[in-house]
Amino acid sequence: SQQGEEDPQALSIQEGENATMNCSYKTSINNLQWYRQNSGRGLVHLILIRSNEREKHSGRLRVTLDTSKKSSSLLITASRAADTASYFCATSRYTDKLIFGTGTRLQVFP
Amino acid sequence: DAGVIQSPRHEVTEMGQEVTLRCKPISGHNSLFWYRQTMMRGLELLIYFNNNVPIDDSGMPEDRFSAKMPNASFSTLKIQPSEPRDSAVYFCASRADRAQSSYEQYFGPGTRLTVT
C-alpha cells in the first residue's frame, strides 16, 4: 500500500489565496519531499524536509513536518493560476526508495 | 542539460506484443528509477538501479516485466507479452549520488502506454 495519503484530494481556490495540502504517512522516515506534476508532465521536485526539521521555506512554499503525528503540510501562499497542478508528498526511510502519496489536485482560478 | 529523456512518448500496441521503453538519465547521476502511474494505483516504484545494478525490483508486477541498465546512460523497461492492464504512464527518474546529500529525483516526461 502507498505510504502517503494526502488531503484534500482536490482543492479549488482563487488567485491570491493560500493553498494548504496535508500528507500523512505510516512509518518512520528520514526525509519527506514534495513534488508537483503538471497535467501530462513528469514530476518536479519542490522541497525536501528532513526528519529533524520542523519547518522549511522556499519562495512561496512553506513545509511543516510533525514526526510525532506522522504528517506534513505544504502551504502555497499568494497562489497563481500557474500553480494549478497535482502535488505529491514522497517519503524515504534510509534507502533510495521513495514512496509517493495519492496526491492533491490544485486548481487556481484567475 | 537536457534532463531525463524517455522514448517513445506515446506507445499504442496490441495485447500480446512486446513493448520496450527507453530512458536516458541525466549525465553524472548514478541512480535510476522506473515508476508507473495509473488513476487506480497512483505512482508506484517498479525498480531502481544504483551504479547500473538493480537494487530493488519488488515493485515489478510480474515476470512479464523486466528492466536493464547496460551502462550509466541508458536503461530499458520491457513488457512481454503486454496486457491491457499494463496501460499506464511510465516514468523514469534519475538522481545524483546520495553521498552528495542529494535526494531529489529528476523525472522524465513519461511514456504513455496503451495496450488494446
Give the one of B48, B50, B91 whose C-beta lies nearest to A42's C-beta.
Answer: B91
DSSP bridge partners of B67: B77
Taking an 8 Å cut-off on Cβ atoms, the answer to whether A33 and B104 are in contact is yes
Alpha carbon of A78 to those of A39, A60, A83, A104, B101: distances in Å?
A: 21, 7, 10, 18, 31
In chain B, residues with a C-beta closer than 8 Å to the C-beta of A102 are 42
Would you put residue B16 in left (φ > 0), alpha (ψ -120 to 50) or beta? left
Residue A1: pLDDT band with limits 50, 70, 90: very low
Taking an 8 Å cut-off on Cβ atoms, the answer to whether A96 and B91 are in contact is no
Residue with C-alpha cell 495519492?
Answer: A102
Amino acid at A16: G
Residues 6+ apart with CB under 8 A from A68: none
Higher pLDDT, B42 or B76: B76
Residue B45: per-residue pLDDT: 94
Q: Which tens digits make up the pLDDT trace of B10-29?
A: 999 999 999 999 999 999 99
Q: How many CB atoms lie within 10 A of CB B22?
A: 16
Q: Which tens digits make up the pLDDT trace of A42-97?
A: 999 999 999 999 999 999 999 999 999 999 999 999 999 999 999 999 998 877 88
Give the one of A42, A92, A99 whose C-beta lies nearest to B109's C-beta.
Answer: A42
* DSSP H stretches of helix in chain A: none
* DSSP 8-state symbol, B73: T
Taking an 8 Å cut-off on Cβ atoms, the answer to whether A33 and B109 are in contact is no
